[in-house]
Each structure stands twice: as C-alpha cells, then as structure tokens.
Amino acid sequence: MTLTTATDRSDQDRYHESLTMLSEASVHKNFDPFEDIDWDSPEFAVIPNDPRWILQKETDPLGSHPWYQALPQDKQIEIGMWRQANVAKVGLQFENILIRGMMQYVFSTPNGSPEARYCTHEVIEECNHTLMFQEMVNRIGRDTPGMGPLLRFIAQFLPLAGNALPVIFFMGVLAGEEPIDHLQKSILREDSDIHPIMKGVMAIHVAEEARHISFAHQFLRRRVPMMSKAGRFVASLAMPLIMRILCDAIVVPPKQFWREFDIPKQVKKDLFWGTPPARKALRGYFADVRMLATDSGLMNPASRLAWKALKIDGKSSRYRSEPGRSAA
C-alpha cells in the first residue's frame, strides 16, 4: 500500500512539474496578434485577384480536386478566400467553446492547483487566437458562418462538460485541435506561396497550440487510469465517436459554401471522404490520438472496431506530431 501511494504521489509530482513548465512557457514565450502581426503592412493588404489565395493542391483537399483545378483563376481565388475565411471562423468558434469549458473546469479547482494556473494561461492565449482569427475573417471580407447551424446551437451547452465530464470535454478539445493543427503544420511545411495573413496567423497558432495539445494529452493520460473499469470502457467507445463527429463539423465546409459556388455533390463526396486519398488524410488527422488512446488504456477490441467503423483507424504515431508520411 505504501509503495502504491508513493508511486501515485511521484506521478502526481511529475504531472504538476510538467504543468508548471507549460505555464512558464506561456509566460516567457507568447504572442500578441496585434503586436506580432503587422496587419497594416502593405504586404498584408487583401487585394483583388491575388493568386496567393488559390487553395494549395498539396495540402487542401479541394485544392487538389480536378474540378477546382479546372476553374478559371478568378473563381479559384474567390473560392479560396471564402474557404480560408470560413476555416478561421470555425477556429474562433471552437476556441470560444474551449475557453468557456476550461473556465467551467477551473471554477472547481482548489487553491494552488497547477491545472488552474495552466488552464488560465491557455484561456488567455485562446482569447488572443479568437481575436486573430476574427481579424483574418474581417480582412478577407467574406461573411462566412463558420460551423453549421446545428453545431452552433449545441455549442451553448458543450462548455458545461468542462466541469461535469472533464475527460469527455478534453477529448472534444483534441477532436477540434488535432485536425486543424495537422492541416496548418502541413501547409507551413510545404512553405507554399500563400498570403502573409494566413502564414502569420498559422505560425502563431501552431506555436501556441503545441502547448495546448500537450496539456490535453497529459490530462487524459493522468485522468483515464483513475476511472472505473466501466467508465474507461464507455470513454473508449466515446473517444472515436467524438473525434469523427467534431472533425466533420470543423473540417467539412457548411452547406452555404457548396450552394454559393454551385459545387457538384460528387466533388463533396470525393473530398469528404469518398476517395482513398481523402480517407487516408482523415485517418492521418488522428494518429497522435490513437497513440494516446493506446497509452492511456482506451484501445480495446470493442473500441478498435469503433475506430474502424468510423474510418479513422490506422497506425498510431510513434511520438506526438510525427509527420504523416511516417505515421501513415
């Protein structure tokens, strides 16, 4: 009994030490979107017919589709601007949910809690991200809705899980953060000729999101083993379902997008997720999460079937943020 207690205390000490390191990193390495992005610089100006808004065929599923590539350049630019503005809008809406849920969680933490300190640092950074994303939307000048109407309605209730169901809530956090982080890292790795607004926003977001994703992974690695056997089993089935539902809500553009640009239904089917490359990309979003599920005891025969049925199964990453070419 004494050995178990000592081991538990040692694990807790390591966990608290890692949270303190994350908090210190937030203090000493942080960004201000209105200080670190020169929005009024001439190179950041949004001008008509700028080819830098054309969707990249290497990293954007629509950009690689023959239908899109066959369009006139001005139409490609128009679609690209709308899509990037909507991605930013979805990002800020998701961050808004995350902020409210994390503050729900912090409300019940005790004095001196390293979790409370780190979560509050993260909320500050996420507030800056919402400002940054909204500024990007405003500069592009497209009145995009972001998430679909159903998820916007449900969003008012989701933050309550931050306190009532923290394990489920932080699974949802990863379901939103991992696909966006995966896509943005791919774009930055390509170092393509994209508009400076996109590059500046993504560089800041990826840099700070690394801490946020790290905390969510550590939180779940610590909390899941503390659950009852029945609770872990339910969580193991909930995890792939949450990943797939929120991924579709965040990654797939809303109906307005397809109507506005008269995009054929077959194109949508191809992109989400009807072709082998599209399905491979979908699986690639969650290689790190599958690693987390395995390490935290959430991967079992029943949950593996759920991951497979939802078409997000595959090999796990060997380490977090392993490039997709190795993990696939």
pTM, entire model: 0.91
The mean of the pLDDT values for the chain is 92
CATH number of the structural domain spanning residue 132: 1.10.620.20
Per-residue pLDDT at 59: 83
Residue range 73-94: average pLDDT? 96
Whether pLDDT at 3 is above 60: no
CA distance linking residue 95 with residue 285, whole number of Å:
18
Residue range 60-83: average pLDDT? 95
Whether 69 is covered by a domain: the verdict is: no
Whether 31 is covered by a domain: the verdict is: no
Q: pLDDT band at 2, cuts 50/70/90? A: very low
Whether 106 is covered by a domain: the verdict is: yes
Whether 41 is covered by a domain: the verdict is: no
Whether 23 is covered by a domain: the verdict is: no
Residue range 138-153: average pLDDT? 93
Per-residue pLDDT at 61: 86
- The model's pLDDT over 174-216, given as tens digits with 9 standing for 90+, comes to 999 999 998 888 888 877 789 999 999 999 999 999 999 999 9
Whether pLDDT at 298 is above 90: yes
**Residue 166, domain extent:** 74-255
Whether pLDDT at 277 is above 90: no
Per-residue pLDDT at 262: 95
Q: Which residues contact 230 (CB under 8 A, 6 or more apart)?
A: none
Residue range 135-151: average pLDDT? 94
Per-residue pLDDT at 57: 86
Question: What total number of domains does the chain contain?
Answer: 1
What are 181-187's contacts with CB under 8 Å, separation 24+?
A: 181/206, 181/209, 181/210, 181/213, 182/284, 182/285, 182/324, 183/59, 183/251, 185/321, 186/58, 186/59, 186/324, 187/56, 187/59, 187/60
Whether 217 is covered by a domain: the verdict is: yes
Whether 290 is covered by a domain: the verdict is: no
CA distance linking residue 103 with residue 226, whole number of Å:
22
Angle at 29 between CA 105 and CA 161, to 5 degrees: 15
Q: Three-class SS of residue 31?
A: coil
Per-residue pLDDT at 249: 86
Q: What tokens appear for 94 in the block?
A: 């998701």
Per-residue pLDDT at 5: 54
Per-residue pLDDT at 327: 38
Ranking 181-185, 194-198, 256-260, 289-293 by mean pLDDT, the lowest is 181-185
Residue range 257-267: average pLDDT? 95
CA distance linking residue 279 with residue 311, whole number of Å:
7
Contact at 8 Å (CB) between 214 and 200?
no
Residue range 74-97: average pLDDT? 96
Q: pLDDT band at 14, cuts 50/70/90? A: very high
CA distance linking residue 95 with residue 177, whole number of Å:
9
Q: What percent of the chain has pLDDT over 70?
A: 95
Q: What percent of the chain has pLDDT over 90?
A: 80
Whether pLDDT at 326 is above 50: no
Q: Three-class SS of residue 123?
A: helix
Residue range 63-88: average pLDDT? 95
Per-residue pLDDT at 6: 52
Whether 55 is covered by a domain: the verdict is: no
Residue range 87-108: average pLDDT? 96
Residues 280-295, buried b or exposed e (16+ Cβ, 10 A)?
ebbbbbbbbbbbbbee
Q: pLDDT band at 311, cuts 50/70/90? A: very high
- The model's pLDDT over 19-58, given as tens digits with 9 standing for 90+, comes to 999 999 999 999 999 999 999 999 999 999 999 999 988 8
